């Protein structure tokens, strides 16, 4: 029987690694093997600007980050970091807008099974592609002069990772994303062969190792035939090494661990990692919401609700960049904190409030699904069926459609599909 290769398959083989790279990450240092006449020779001089730019970027201060990358570009016109940083700003803005920064979406494969394309302007697409191509051009020019420049080779691999992230989240071109991620991992393996101490270069091949190793067995065999092998433990160890020792990809690797630890059901480790990110980047609403989401899935409903009430108060007061919070997500999580305690009426009210906030399509589906759960809990079967039918009518999320179909046969909570309830309940 011929195996069907789905977009999700291609994504998990390669793009999962591309996404979790996010951007180069906050710089903390510089490789020690500096070589005169190469990017490494002025890396120390560029370091303060890189640190400042990425602190702004991870805090979603996009304008401030862009201004610093512009200064970086002016001062170091042969270094790929400037145009690469501009591309990173654009991807992060678009990725945040379409939900790619919400780690809970990647706990399984729901994000990749959602249909549709990202809302991105032609101007954003052109700018991203132009900046990434300029970064690539600079790297190739340096490579011609000095093939052994490991920092330059590292950036060349990071450019491929960025392309993978864009192709996957924005274009939904999964096979293209997988190919780009394979090139990224290969380039970073070259760096490691020359210098096993280059901690940043463990991220991409480690993430790819993990992605391949966690495919279903039949698909792992298919990947093997194409020369793609994965080792789960090695993948996790390598990503953790970058998060622990990395100089350019530390924060991106730590975000990867947040996602991977959730997939591994190691929720305490996921909480530790995301709490570090929230503290380092307090203006970023997604890190705060991710911590809350993990607590909910962990079964810590009261703690999550307290944090949500603080979050909503801060959002409404204009704290940080909380105005970028995806509409409907805080109300969704607040409703879930009540739902998982079987406080049906409070849960229904929160979900209804979220639906009134003009949420994006993927969040609207979740709000309808959860409101149906709450209405089932209240014994309002016909009203619950209305919400489940809305999930199926609106479409765009195969997992939710399947769950809604199951609950049309058996009401919540008795018929709750696997994966739709907190970890503490044994799911």
Q: How far, in Å, CA of 220 to CA of 314, rounded?
A: 45
Q: Which residue has the higher pLDDT, 35 or 219?
A: 219
In this model, does residue 23 exceed pLDDT 60?
no
Q: What are residue 397's phi and psi, to 5 degrees?
A: -145, 100
* pLDDT at residue 171, rounded to an integer: 83
Q: At residue 206, does pLDDT exceed 90?
A: yes
In DSSP terms, which residues pair with 315 in a beta bridge? none
Q: What pLDDT does 104 receive?
A: 57
98 confidence band (pLDDT: 50, 70, 90)? confident
- Is 266 exposed, middle or buried, given 0-12, 13-18 or 19+ CB atoms closer than 10 A? middle
The b/e string for 373-397 (b: 16+ C-beta within 10 A; e otherwise) is: bbbbbeebeeebbebbebbeeeeeb
Among 43-52, 137-146, 220-229, 374-383, where is mean pLDDT lowest?
220-229
Q: Model confidence over 154-168: pLDDT tens digits?
A: 999 999 999 998 988
Instruction: Parse the chain into domains and list their residue ranges.
Output: 7-280, 285-425
Residue 57 near residue 23 (C-beta atoms within 8 A): yes
Confidence class for position 179, pLDDT limits 50, 70, 90: confident
Residue 116 has pLDDT above 80, yes or no: no
* pTM reported for the whole predicted model: 0.85
pLDDT (0 to 100) of residue 223: 54
Distance CA 65, CA 230 (A): 35
In the prediction, which pLDDT does 172 show?
A: 79
Q: Is the peptide bond before 413 cis (omega within 30 degrees of 0)?
A: yes
Q: How many CB atoms lie within 10 A of CB 66?
A: 18
d(CA 372, CA 395): 16
Give residue 21's pLDDT. 46
At the topology level, CATH places domain 285-425 in 1.25.40
The percentage of residues in the chain with a pLDDT greater than 70, rounded to a whole number, is 81
For 35-76, what is each residue's pLDDT tens digit? 344 556 666 788 789 889 989 999 999 999 999 999 999 999
Mean pLDDT of the chain: 85
């Amino acid at each position: 029987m011929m195996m069907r290769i789905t977009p999700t398959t291609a994504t998990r083989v390669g793009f999962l690694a591309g996404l979790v790279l996010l951007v180069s990450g906050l710089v903390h240092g510089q490789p020690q093997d500096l070589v005169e006449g190469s990017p490494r020779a002025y890396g120390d001089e560029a370091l303060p600007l890189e640190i400042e730019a990425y602190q702004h970027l991870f805090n979603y201060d996009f304008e401030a980050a862009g201004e610093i990358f512009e200064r970086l570009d002016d001062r170091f016109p042969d270094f790929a970091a400037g145009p690469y940083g501009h591309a990173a700003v654009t991807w992060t803005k678009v990725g945040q807008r379409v939900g790619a920064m919400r780690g809970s979406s990647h706990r399984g494969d729901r994000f990749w099974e959602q249909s549709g394309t990202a809302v991105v302007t032609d101007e954003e697409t052109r700018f991203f592609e132009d900046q990434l191509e300029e970064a690539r051009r600079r790297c190739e020019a340096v490579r011609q002069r000095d093939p052994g420049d490991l920092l330059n080779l590292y950036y060349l691999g990071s450019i491929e990772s960025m392309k993978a992230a864009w192709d996957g989240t924005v274009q939904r071109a999964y096979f293209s994303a997988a190919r780009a991620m394979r090139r990224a991992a290969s380039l970073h393996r070259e760096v490691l062969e020359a210098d096993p101490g280059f901690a940043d270069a463990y991220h991409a091949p480690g993430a790819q190792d993990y992605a391949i190793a966690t495919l279903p067995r039949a698909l792992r065999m298919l990947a093997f035939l194409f020369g793609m092998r994965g080792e789960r433990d090695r993948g996790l160890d390598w990503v953790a090494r970058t998060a622990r020792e990395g100089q350019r990809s530390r924060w991106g690797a730590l975000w990867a661990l947040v996602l991977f630890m959730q997939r591994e059901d190691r929720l305490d480790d996921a909480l530790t990692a995301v709490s570090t990110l929230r503290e380092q980047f307090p203006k970023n609403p997604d890190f705060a919401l991710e911590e809350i989401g993990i607590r909910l899935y962990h079964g810590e409903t009261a703690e999550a609700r307290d944090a949500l009430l603080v979050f909503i108060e801060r959002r409404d007061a204009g704290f940080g960049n909380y105005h970028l919070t995806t509409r409907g997500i805080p109300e969704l999580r607040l409703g879930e904190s009540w739902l998982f305690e079987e406080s049906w009426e409070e849960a229904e009210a929160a979900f209804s409030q979220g639906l009134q906030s003009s949420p994006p399509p993927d969040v609207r589906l979740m709000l309808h699904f959860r409101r149906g759960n709450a209405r089932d809990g209240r014994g309002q079967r016909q009203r619950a069926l209305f919400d489940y039918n809305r999930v199926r009518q609106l479409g765009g999320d195969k997992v939710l459609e399947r769950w809604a179909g199951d609950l049309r046969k058996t009401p919540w909570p008795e018929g709750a599909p696997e994966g739709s309830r907190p970890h503490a309940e044994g799911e």
